[in-house]
Amino acid sequence: MTQTQTGPTGHALIQSYVRTLDNSPGVYRMLDGEARVLYVGKARNLRARVSNYARPSGHSARIARMIAETRSMMFLSTRTETEALLLEQNLIKQLKPVYNVLLRDDKSFPNILIAKSHDFPQIRKHRGKRSDKGSYFGPFASGSAVNRTLTQLQKVFLLRNCADSVFQNRSRPCLLYQIKRCSGPCVGLISPEDYAELVADAERFLSGKSTRIQADLARQMQAASDAMEFERAAALRDRIRALTQVQQAQGINPRGVAEADIVALHLEKGQACVQVFFIRGHQSWGNRDFYPRTGAGAEEGEILEAFLAQFYDGKPPPRQILLSHPIDNADLIHELLSARAGRNVELHVPRRGEKAELVENALRNARESLGRRMAEGAAQSRLLSGLAEAFELDAPPQRIEIYDNSHIQGAHAVGAMVVAGPEGFVKSQYRKYNIKGDALTPGDDFGMMKEVLRRRFEKLVQDDPGRENETWPDLLLIDGGAGQVSAVAQIMAEIGVDDIPVVGVAKGIDRDAGKEEFHRPGRSSFALRHNDPVLYFIQRLRDEAHRFAIGSHRASRARATTSTPLDDVPGVGAARKRALLAHFGSAKAVTRAGLPDLMAVPGISEALARRIHDFFNARD
């Protein structure tokens, strides 16, 4: 239900709501005078929780500010407090209230998958939902950590990483076999039983049972040496060496902790860093740092509680989570994470022993990471202030959007948008636009930029007409001169967005970097001094947009070069396309094939064969 008051505000307003509430669990929202959500909270008892806000004193500075800004409230009751917690986290992610703690980086983590849908299982990196049949090991802190581990595991266990379609069509072993990173199951160089033993060894190692594997390899090497099979002994020696390198690369290998995430928080001057270390199978699989928004001054317990609820949304929690600080509602978070994992998840704040040392190590990393970030943020803040002064902006921009195009004589044209702000480049906000304008003249950069800006801002106006979200830019930087700026200003005026500053960055004399000229609508061009740090900053922004645009263009061009006429046939997906190409040898041969020939292809029904035949005959 929604309740809005027009008379009292702050404590008096909240007090007027208390008598309308019961003792059920639920979620409440506090809104300002423009109906923007200030805070989303959960409660075991709505009446008792909201009553706390009605007190005129005894609040922290953060809560006092929030109460003073409150002009209305919304309430929704739930059956249990756990349901209230889930609803709260969903609303926080959706609404991003200023006084809530918000985890801004919620990317999935990579895993190692030993896929078992084939007689000879494949080992590979996996992200996302665990829908494929097989054994999953992870999470790893980054894709590079997985790739390094996979490279070493291939040297040790010789498991294949090729796709099933490649495996089935091999007639001789590939390069990985030649460099001793695969056992060659595709051409029968290893029996299914021996390969299954390699798979079992890999699973044992990834589960933390590496001592037996190393001892077995050492025995095999000695036996091969005694039998004067020196080539086999050397191969086993190389596998032992690779196994040792994997173990060294894992870093911290705790003896008393088999499976845990170590979550440590350092809070300083209203900024927070949460460091997460992943321990699986007594091995450290890397760490990641996160910088959640602290909700305008939340304390450690509230920040960690919100972090855990949001971080494990869509990620399987481990059996144990070691924390640097107690959290506010440990029993509720324990219940939530255990439900998500389908088993018990323990939360601990260790005070002594190996676990405490692990937490202290993570806490030190969090402290050092936050220190570096704050130093970088101070430098970034100075650059943004200098940018505001150079372009006569009202305030330092919090979101800068930089646009560029890339094409070759108009072919495979791509527009790119790069985003930067107080924390540097925001890569999760980058966007690419495949240029669609059929009426555009090939190579018409003005027309391409107009199309990109129109698509970007028409959607933005449609999605957020009140400009309540953080996705509205404070400054547009365009790679181009007066003509590009004029084209952009025209489009923005047509859309009805004419209050965002637009600046064109054009190469100056001899197109040398350092002699850039800046263009603004209706004003004379100007330049910055050659050694101005703001100039270097603008160059980095432009170069990043250029890099992203070129990369997007190359990817588009690469996709186009591998496309075939079969891509346009309804009902022909990747698997049937491979079957057709394997049967006929080329896409051109498929277009010329008769109906009986098409029906002879495995997986192609009579109806689909007729559809393919009619498709290409119609085109002729």
Instruction: Tell me the pLDDT band of 160, cut-offs 50, 70 and 90.
Output: very high
For 358, phi then psi, to 5°, come to -65, -45
Residue 94 pLDDT greater than 60, yes or no: yes
- d(CA 314, CA 339) in angstroms, rounded, equals 12
Question: In 445-485, where do the E strands start and end?
Answer: 475-479
- d(CA 476, CA 485) in angstroms, rounded, equals 10
Report the amino acid identity of residue 328: D
Instruction: Tell me the pLDDT band of 562, cut-offs 50, 70 and 90.
Output: low
Of these ranges, 404-408, 484-488, 614-618, the one predicted with the greatest mean pLDDT is 484-488
For residues 367 and 412, is the Cβ–Cβ distance under 8 A? no
**Mode of pairing for the β-strands spanning 475-479 and 400-408:** parallel
**399 CB contacts (<8 Å, ≥6 apart)?**
419, 420, 421, 426, 470, 471, 472, 473, 474, 475
Nearest to 150 by CA among 118, 186, 111: 111
Range name among 100-109, 179-188, 504-513 with the lowest pLDDT average? 504-513
pLDDT tens digits along 106-157 = 667 888 999 998 889 999 999 888 888 899 988 887 788 788 888 878 888 8
Q: Would you state the CATH architecture of domain 565-619?
A: Orthogonal Bundle (1.10)
Measured between alpha carbons, how far apart are the two ends of the chain, in Å?
62
- State the CB neighbour count (10 A cutoff) for residue 271: 15
Q: Which residue has the tokens 């009553």?
A: 51
Overall average pLDDT of the 15-34 stretch: 91
Record: fold of 400-559 = Nucleotidyltransferase; domain 5 (3.30.420)
For residues 62 and 99, is the Cβ–Cβ distance under 8 A? yes
- d(CA 403, CA 408) in angstroms, rounded, equals 17
- d(CA 482, CA 524) in angstroms, rounded, equals 9
Residue 288 pLDDT greater than 60, yes or no: yes
Residue 573 pLDDT greater than 60, yes or no: yes
Instruction: Tell me the pLDDT band of 4, cut-offs 50, 70 and 90.
Output: very low
pLDDT tens digits along 318-369 = 999 999 999 988 999 999 999 988 999 999 999 999 999 999 999 999 999 8
pTM for this model (two decimals) = 0.69
DSSP codes of every residue in 118-162: SSS-EEEEE-S---SSEEEE---S-HHHHHHHHHHHHHHH----S
For residues 254 and 275, is the Cβ–Cβ distance under 8 A? no
For residues 285 and 279, is the Cβ–Cβ distance under 8 A? yes
Q: Could you tell me how many residues make up the chain?
A: 620
Homologous superfamily, domain 259-371: UvrC, RNAse H endonuclease domain (3.30.420.340)
Record: fold of 2-99 = GIY-YIG endonuclease (3.40.1440)
pLDDT tens digits along 409-458 = 546 678 889 999 988 898 888 998 887 766 656 656 777 888 888 889 98
**Tokens at 520, concatenated:** 């603004």
- State the CB neighbour count (10 A cutoff) for residue 61: 9
- State the CB neighbour count (10 A cutoff) for residue 155: 19
What are the residue boundaries of the structural domains of the chain, listed by start? 2-99, 111-249, 259-371, 400-559, 565-619
Greater pLDDT, 554 or 352:
352
For 53, phi then psi, to 5°, come to -75, -20
Q: Is 22 helix (H, G, I), strand (E, B) or coil?
A: coil
Tell me which DSSP letter residue 26 carries: E
**66 CB contacts (<8 Å, ≥6 apart)?**
30, 38, 39, 99, 296
Report the amino acid identity of residue 344: N
CA distances from 435 to 440, 505, 550 (A): 9, 22, 14
Beta bridge partners of 170: none
Percentage of the chain exceeding pLDDT 70: 89
pLDDT tens digits along 444-496 = 677 788 888 888 998 888 888 878 777 899 999 998 888 888 888 888 888 88
For residues 38 and 95, is the Cβ–Cβ distance under 8 A? no
Instruction: Tell me the pLDDT band of 227, cut-offs 50, 70 and 90.
Output: confident
Residue 251: predicted pLDDT: 47
Residue 6 pLDDT greater than 60, yes or no: no
Residue 313 pLDDT greater than 50, yes or no: yes
**Tokens at 507, concatenated:** 């190469």
Q: Cis link prior to 139 (omega < 30° from 0)?
A: yes
DSSP codes of every residue in 550-561: HHHHHHHHHHHH
Instruction: Tell me the pLDDT band of 260, cut-offs 50, 70 and 90.
Output: very high
Instruction: Say whether 400-559 and 259-371 share the same fold.
Output: yes
- d(CA 234, CA 241) in angstroms, rounded, equals 10
DSSP codes of every residue in 83-122: HHHHHHHHHHHHH--TTSEE----PPPPEEEEE-SSSS-E
Alpha helices in 391-498 (DSSP H): 445-463, 482-495
